[in-house]
Amino acid sequence: MSAAPEQAFPLPDTTGIGAHYWNALREGRLDYQCCSRCHSAWLPARTECPKCLAAEWTWKIASGKATLISWVIYHHAYHPWFAKKLPYNVSVVQLAEGPRLISNVVAAGTTLRIDMPLQLIIEREADVALARFKPA
Amino acid sequence: MRGNVVIAGVGQTAFGKCPGRTTLSLNIEACRNALADAGVEKEAVDALVVKPPTSNPEFMYGSTLAEAMGLQPRVGGSWDQGGAANISLISFAAMAIEHGQCEIALVTYADNPRTGSRHVYEKAWGDDAAYGWFGVPAGYAMLARRHMEEYGTTSDQLGEIAVAIRNHGAANPNAQLRVPLTLEQYRQSKWVVDPLRRDDCCLVSDGAAAVVLMSAKRAKQMGIRKAVPILGFGQGQTSWEVPLRTDLTSTGAEVSGATALRMAGLTPKDIDVAQIYDCFTITVLMTLEAYGFARKGKSGPFVAGGRLAHGGELPTNTAGGLLSETGMPGLQLVLEGVRQMRGEATLQVKNAQTCMVSNQGGIMHTHSTLILGQWQ
Ligand SMILES: [Zn+2]
């Protein structure tokens, strides 16, 4: 029996410019974009460099080292999929290479604090590879 | 152009639930009341600018509204900037009047998320929904956590903001929520998204408000006695996505407030009463320090001890703001600023000569500031 549509995992859009990012996670890498002209680095995926507007860029592999910028704890599920996870955290994480992303810190029993060092862990959920982090 | 343009009239609908009313109908009622307050005939209006309804944006809404009001204004349209749009539209209309593009402008806004759809406030943030990242409150909670961890801001300090504003709302007969709040009750309030509690969050409301603008010269010619001069305004913006902000505790409120104060020739010490956009308590806290009422990171201690309460050093949101009067974004704060400058507020601040008003939208992404003064 398949789950009702409203209980389905909210799948990210793995087509278009973001396809490479999600495929890389599936292959065990967290890739970010780096401008060929001004060398600025960014996520999420875009067609032009948001700093110098160049359309020439390459994908690079992140080291997986990161720091915790901020986090919140949900006590109410805005989507049925997350009801079983309550309470759960959503965090802003900064990669050592610069780009920032929304993620979850997997740290049962650890007190979170801003600027704490984190390490990438790639976890599968509903057959999607997600970039999560644990205390380093 | 300090003081060259005035708010000549204000109008509103009932706040709270307006079932069965369209936003067009609500806008028209607010405009009708604002024109009557100013003593201006509809036929004299040659500018109509409107913030599109947040919860149900429509194509060319400004033109639809003009048609429903039988207006073909010289200057017209809608401006999409979230909750900052109302003060931004007031500033654009003031500049248009100053430069002869129009003479009498209506700025209006209506929405009905309480009895209509509020889906827009609970949406997912794109692909990040896979991590459980949903809803507007979480965005503000993310800013609040960083402020608390970086500067030692406490939950009780956020609570002091809620207590002051909710108590002001309790005194306002037109407020949607007339229930006062104690710090003890605040502490018992349930988490929405930790670190924000239910009492940190604004109301969801139906309703509309409108203002009439004209030159001070025209207001004098027309003998309008209750006109309120616009002394200054400004705007500022920070990055759209919360995770992409270099500094989570800095926003466009800094440049917006500085621009408005410079135009008005004032400093924060010269401000007698404040109307600060309070979609969430953290928004008030961060806006006050961005405007220079407190140093960066020191807004927590600043709001403690009843400083924002009526009778305090900086009475703030004296009609109850978004937390109590109505959750509709922004214009109610301008209306209360006008009442304070006219000396007609329910919780009137004695001898108030200046009022600073903030509007902001997104997750503190867009910001606009208005400074009102006294009619000479
Ligand atoms: Zn570049």
Chain A nearest C-alpha distance from B148 (Å):
10
Residue B117 confidence (pLDDT) above 90: no
pLDDT band at B164, cuts 50/70/90? very high
Q: How far apart are CA B220 and CA B348, in angstroms?
A: 25
- H-run or E-run covering B93: helix B85-98
Confidence (pLDDT) at A108: 81
Q: How far apart are CA B122 and CA A23, in angstroms?
A: 29
What residues of chain A lie within 8 A of the CB of B150, using their CB? 114
Gyration radius from chain A CA atoms = 16
pLDDT band at B376, cuts 50/70/90? confident
What residues of chain A lie within 8 A of the CB of B143, using their CB? 70
Confidence (pLDDT) at A4: 52
Contact A69 B128 (CB under 8 A): no
Confidence (pLDDT) at B121: 66
Give A45-62 pLDDT, tens digit per residue. Answer: 999 999 999 999 999 999
Give B313-340 pLDDT, tens digit per residue. Answer: 999 999 999 999 999 889 999 999 999 9
Token output for A126: 């509903």
B194 and A CB contact within 8 Å: yes
Confidence (pLDDT) at B75: 98
Confidence (pLDDT) at A109: 77
For A14, which residue in chain B has the nearest alpha carbon?
B127
Average pLDDT for B214-240: 96
* Contact present, B131 and A129 (Cβ < 8 Å): no
Helix axes B155-170, B281-290, angle to 10 degrees: 100
B143 and A CB contact within 8 Å: yes
Confidence (pLDDT) at A1: 41
Residue A10 confidence (pLDDT) above 70: yes
- H-run or E-run covering B263: helix B253-264
Residue A53: CA count within 13 A, CB half-sphere: 0
Confidence (pLDDT) at B234: 98
Confidence (pLDDT) at B170: 98
Give B98-112 pLDDT, tens digit per residue. Answer: 999 999 999 999 999
Average pLDDT for A4-25: 87
Confidence (pLDDT) at B126: 84
A84 and B CB contact within 8 Å: no
* Contact present, B203 and B177 (Cβ < 8 Å): yes
Confidence (pLDDT) at B125: 74
Q: What are phi and psi of B282, to 5 degrees?
A: -60, -30
What residues of chain A lie within 8 A of the CB of B195, using their CB? 72
Contact B146 A69 (CB under 8 A): yes
Instruction: Identify the structural domains of chain B with CATH numbers, from first to last.
Output: 5-117+204-228 (3.40.47.10), 134-201+230-372 (3.40.47.10)
Confidence (pLDDT) at A133: 98
**Minimum-distance CB partner of B132 among A13, A90, A92:** A90
* Contact present, B79 and B85 (Cβ < 8 Å): yes
Average pLDDT for B272-283: 98
Contact A102 B133 (CB under 8 A): yes
Give A94-136 pLDDT, tens digit per residue. Answer: 999 999 999 999 988 789 999 999 999 999 999 999 999 999 9
Cross-strand bridge partners of residue B371: B232, B356
**Minimum-distance CB partner of B132 among A18, A82, A100:** A82
Confidence (pLDDT) at A7: 66
Whole-Å CA distances, A73 to A70, A101, A136, B73, B133: 11, 17, 21, 49, 10
Residue A42 confidence (pLDDT) above 80: yes
A101 and B CB contact within 8 Å: yes
ipTM: 0.95
**Minimum-distance CB partner of A103 among B125, B131, B149:** B131
* Contact present, A70 and B149 (Cβ < 8 Å): yes
Average pLDDT for B247-272: 97
Taking all residues of chain B, what is their mean pLDDT, rounded to a whole number?
95
**Minimum-distance CB partner of A100 among B124, B146, B244:** B244
* Contact present, B212 and B218 (Cβ < 8 Å): no
Residue B78 confidence (pLDDT) above 80: yes
